[in-house]
Structure 1
Amino acid sequence: MTIKQYDAVVIGAGFAGLYMLHKLRERGLSVRVIEAADGVGGVWYWSRYPGAKCDSDSIFYNFTFSEELYKKWSWKDRYASQPEILEYLNFVADELDLRPDIQFSTRVKEASFNNDIKHWEIYTDTDETLIAKYFISGVGCLSTTNVPPFEGSETFKGEQYHTGRWPHEKVDFTGKRVVVIGNGSSGVQAMPEIAKEAKELTLLMRTPHYVAEARNHPLSKEDQEKAIQNYEDIRDSFSTTPGGIRMFTTGKSATEFTEEQQKETLEHVWTTGGLALGSVYPDVGVNKETNYVISQFVRDKIDEIVEDPEKAKMLHPDYYITTKRLIIGTNFYEIFNEDHVNLLSLKDNPIERIVENGVALRDGIIECDVIVYATGYEAMTGSLLKIDIQGRDGQSIQDKWGDGRDVKTYLGLTMENFPNFFMITGPQSPSVLTNMPSAIEQHVDWIDRCIEYLEDNNLQTIEAQKISEMKWGKQCDDLANSTLFPHTNSWYTGANIDGEQRGFVIYVGGLNNYKKICDQVADNNYEGFSFEKAHANVVIQ
């Protein structure tokens, strides 16, 4: 077994891991990033399904910490596609010369805090032990795929794919009968592309979702130059807006407008495209009346687009809009007007098993040549729980969090009993309710500042106090319970994983307010944390 020592070990080489590596290396620390894939990109390395795109405008979906880096890159489209995002992250890795400190094709199997030497011992599947003072997770919120354990899946004689683990080579659907299970973001984005080739396409849908039109389009040279000129404003939006991104808003409740004014504004938002349905009236997440206005507007749009009234009704969502992630798609509803595209509700006719020639439902078999699982991820906590991470006295994250929804953190960044362990966009932070690069930059900057404080003050460890965790958990719960979010079963609450306990584990107060709280903690010499002084007699062997 090989033993190597670093100041910090980071898991993951996506947006979070790349920026964390850059910041700590600038600080003069020795850093090793461990990445399971054979290249950078994180979730964008794996999610290569047809139609994969980000759902933030591309001019915001990048780093802003370096003006020079920002101005060297121009996006091609309003919403960047997976290949372009992966190209961008490779560009960043090359511009900052990050690859020498990234170890690819390697997984962290387990990690434990050694209380004698006050360091983390990290074990990989390449039979290495890495010893580090700081251990940082950049595993991402949506990186562990959820494939429901359907009985008989191993007997299927056709092709099977998960949107989150798509092959590198193109999948040819020409002339094939395709079943898509799930209609979250990946299913909504993939189906119009698959429909162009497939002989027959059937969506097996458990819950219909609200889908806003992307209105994607190439960015003109003028658009690209304007984005570069607006660098300061775009960077400012990362920390001064609830979602880390400038969005169209009236700034008022829908109840303050007449029905005619509501319709005119919502038509404008629908025609313009994007996520503005979630920001046009800022009380959409707390006011049932406002929420109904927007929700019903989308249901009416579905009725306008989908010609078959029965199919249109099946596609009507019945939950509060924005309490599940608003999906951005292109011509999703339109494909249900095509003769070769079918729609079946799993609520009325559930899957019983996979058979060799298709999917067996309670009321019959859907024969197919290809099954696409668009069944999402074990969101928020799944990737961390897949690793055996043990803090003081052998306490694991599984012990601390139970089945993953009884989350206990301080600021979504740290945990009691896990010294010098930091989570980038962890549970109980704003994470998936924001533009992810915005949240990542804020988290990495805070962690970097914290490590600077420890190094400058000769401190060996920092650890959240138990009372701080309790207060933060209550603050997160109180905020969530003042909104409509807890009323809806979603992957936000873990409801997409059968048998998992429900729990809302996201800070909903906005990235701007969250940043103020985190900065105040740091300004007050890391109020709510405990420290251990560095001791010269600690020997690492």
Structure 2
Amino acid sequence: MSQNATEVARDCDAVVIGAGFAGLYALHRLRGMGLDVRAFEAGSGVGGTWYWNRYPGARTDSEAEVYQYWFSDELLAEWNWQERFPAQAETERYLNFVADRLDLRKDIAFNTRVTAAHWDEAAARWVVQTDGGDAVRCRWLVPCLGPLSEPAEPPFPGREAYRGTVLHTARWPREGIDLRGKRVGVVGTAATGIQVIQTIAHEVGALYVFQRTANYTIPMRNPKVDDAARERMRARYPENRQRVFDSFIGFHFDLDPRDWDQVPKEERRRTLEALWDKGSLQFWGSNFIKVIMDEAANREVSDFVREKMRARIRKPELAEKLLPTTHGFGTRRTPLDSGYLEVFDLDHVHLVDVKADPIQAFTDTGLKTGTAAYELDVIILATGFDAGTGTLGRIDIRGRDGLSLKDEWKKEISTAMGLQKHGFPNLFMTAAPLAPSAAFCNMPTCLQQQVDWIADCIDYVRRTGDRQVIEPTPEFEAQWVKHHDQVANATLIAKTPSWWLGSNVPGKPQRLLSYIGAGNYRQACNDVAQKGYAGFVIS
């Protein structure tokens, strides 16, 4: 950052980066405390995830009933959800409704990307630089960038030679793209890939699905929501408003408290059948806790899901490729689907096993593996994200004595409750590593909880600190990392390579990126606050 940029920096109290679920709420909360707040958003509109991810079939796998803000009775009363699991366009409309209803746009600079943020120790301020060359000086820096925002691009060489169209699902063009009759390749079969594949299969001329890892998938039950259903939903809001913050993964349901080994096998089967019929993530989040902790329990549930999946696959030779065998159910992200397995019955849909025959490179006409070449008009990369650290790593964030956040996380991924990091005073993060996030929490639930904690903390520091500066001690941060790892290592999840651990990004330090147990996390955060932010130094 240039000296001139620092000199011309204007002052405000707080800068919020991002205008998704967390960013909009952070702007609202901090502004409501009387702070002068500026927000920066790289896109041309609000929405965050739901602005950028507009690929065919994009929709939430959290139910509308809980995929919303809880802080305003007026918002709850005025917004009418149309589907149990809202599609991208509906969720984007909801966030635009919130922005308009709360008059948030006036404080958001759109089409503006934050490129750097440096801590000025003498002034006890952050100096924030944008891609337009502007600089802003603030006391509180609150990046709300989401855990799944920085696309992970595959390392296949030769992309510049390819004459067709390449799209990453996280950067889908707003105007869309006509895929009718075209030869399309989709690389990746995790949650996003499944949504794309099942949506475009019936319109393309030929579809090649490049699968490295088969995934468990649950059929989604997604009815329209009529007036009567909305009234029933609203009647549950008072109960759900509290319940989501106490539950295991931030939903209106919770884990089965019974001991797996004490429940007869026949009763376990009835329980699994009932959960399966819900057509939601209840099959994961309302199951027995031992399913993600005990290999025998996990094996039984994995067999159950494979049985259900096999019954949907008509071609026996495909079943062996589409059924997951390399990991147990729930140890990687489990998608909901709407006819995904059935599209492989179509003659023009082809499954390419790139575990056995890896993709080698782009060609001028498509992709080639070790044994075959595929001519494609469009290549869709559903290859996921550099989760947790990637988006913050794109910003040159430097704390005390020029300490680089990106460089620190290259050595070890650590935070204090996913909210702050030692060496970076007055930097507050949401959906950051070692807090509940996309992996193990309904995002609006955990983002609201984290923003509330941050706002309350800032209010406390403003009232008690001479310099109004707060930072976690290295001892507290190490203690939180140890606790996080103990919780994670008690599960099978920490033993299963996936993006949950950063395994999809070469060279990334391996640690479970999200904290397991949203309700327990909330209590831990509350305990710290009630003890005057024990573990943090306020000056």
Q: TM-score range by the shorter chain?
A: over 0.9
Contact 1:15 1:437 in 2 (8 A): yes
| 2:414 aligned partner, one-letter code | K
Q: Does 1:401 align with 2:409?
A: yes
Pairing 1:497-536 to 2, within 5 Å after superposition: 497-508=505-516, 510-532=517-539
Alignment pair present for 1:491 and 2:499: yes
Match of 1:291 among 281, 298, 301: 298
What's the counterpart of residue 217 of structure 1? Answer: 223
* Corresponding residue of 1:121: 127
Structure 1 residue aligned with 2:332, among 312, 319, 324? 324
Alpha-carbon offset, residue 257 of structure 1: 3.6
2:189 pairs, out of 183, 186, 205, with 183
Q: Any stretches of 5+ residues in structure 1 without a counterpart?
A: 533-541
- Mapped partners of 2:461, 2:176: distance in 1: 49
Partner of 1:457: 464
Find the counterpart in structure 2 of residue 369 from structure 1.
Answer: 377
* 2:392/2:406 contact within 8 Å kept: no
- Indicate conservation of the 8 Å contact 2:389/2:409, yes or no: no
Alpha carbons 1:380, 1:426 under 8 Å: kept: yes
Superposed CA deviations along residues 42-98 of structure 1, whole A, max 9, x for unmatched, are: 111010011100011111000001111111111100100000000000000000000
Q: Residue 47 of structure 1 corresponds to which residue in structure 2?
A: 53
Q: CA deviation at 1:252?
A: 2.2
SS at match of 1:284: helix
Query: What's the TM-score, normalizing by structure 1?
Result: 0.96
1:82 aligned residue (84, 88, 93): 88
- The residue aligned with 1:380 is 388
Single out whichever of 16-25 and 170-179 deviates more from structure 2: 170-179
Alignment partner of 2:342 out of 328, 334, 359: 334
367 and 256 in structure 1: CA distance in 2 versus 1, 3 angstrom threshold? farther
Asked whether the equivalents of residues 380 and 492 of structure 1 are also in contact (C-alpha less than 8 Å), the reply is no
Q: Deviations over 1:340-386 (max 9, x none)?
A: 11111111000110001111100010111111100011111111111
Answer whether contact 1:277 1:294 (CA < 8 A) is retained. Answer: no
Aligned position for 1:538: none
What secondary structure sits across from 2:500 in the alignment? coil
Which SS does the other structure have where 2:117 is aligned? strand
- Asked whether the equivalents of residues 389 and 396 of structure 1 are also in contact (C-alpha less than 8 Å), the reply is yes
Q: Is residue 2:173 matched to residue 1:167?
A: yes
Does the CA contact (< 8 Å) of 1:63 and 1:441 recur in 2? yes
Percentage of pairs with the same residue: 39
Indicate the residue corresponding to 1:352 in structure 2: 360
| Structure 1 match to 2:434 | 428
Number of matched residues?
529
1:5 and 2:11 matched = yes
The letter of the residue matching 1:130 is V
The question of whether the paired residues in 2 share the 8 Å contact of 1:77 and 1:216 is answered with yes
Residue 118 of structure 2 corresponds to 112
SS at the partner of 1:431? coil
Shift of 1:422: 0.4
> Which residue does the alignment assign to 2:64?
58
Scaled by the length of structure 2, the TM-score of the pair is 0.96
Between 1:266-275 and 1:364-373, the stretch displaced more is 266-275
Partner of 1:102: 108
Q: Which amino acid aligns with 2:429?
A: M
Identify which range, 144-153 or 11-20, moves more after superposition.
Answer: 144-153
Deviations 1:291-320 (A, max 9, x none): 112111111122211112221111121212
User: In 1, Cα distance between the equivalents of 2:100 and 2:452?
Assistant: 21
- Equivalent residue for 1:239, pick from 245, 251, 269: 245
**Aligned partner of residue 196 in structure 1, secondary structure:** coil
Q: CA deviation at 1:399?
A: 2.7
Contact 1:428 1:473 in 2 (8 A): yes
State the alpha-carbon separation in 1 of the partners of residues 256 and 484 from structure 2: 27
Match for 2:234: what amino acid? Answer: I
Q: Could you report, residue by residue, the CA deviation over 1:416-455 in whole angstroms, capped at 9, with x for unpaired residues?
A: 1111000012110111211000001100110011011011
- CA–CA distance in 2 between the matches of 1:364 and 1:253? 50
- In 2, are the aligned partners of 1:178 and 1:201 still within 8 Å (CA)? yes
Contact 1:67 1:231 in 2 (8 A): no
**1:187 and 1:255 mapped to 2: Cα distance?**
36
Q: What SS does the aligned partner of 1:342 have?
A: strand
Q: Which moved further from structure 2: 309-318 or 523-532?
A: 309-318
Provide the residue aligned with 1:479 in structure 2: 487
Structure 2: stretches of 5+ with no match in the other structure: none
User: How many angstroms apart in 2 are the aligned matches of 1:248 and 1:216?
Assistant: 20
Flag as ranges the 4+ runs of structure 1 deviating above 6 A.
Answer: none
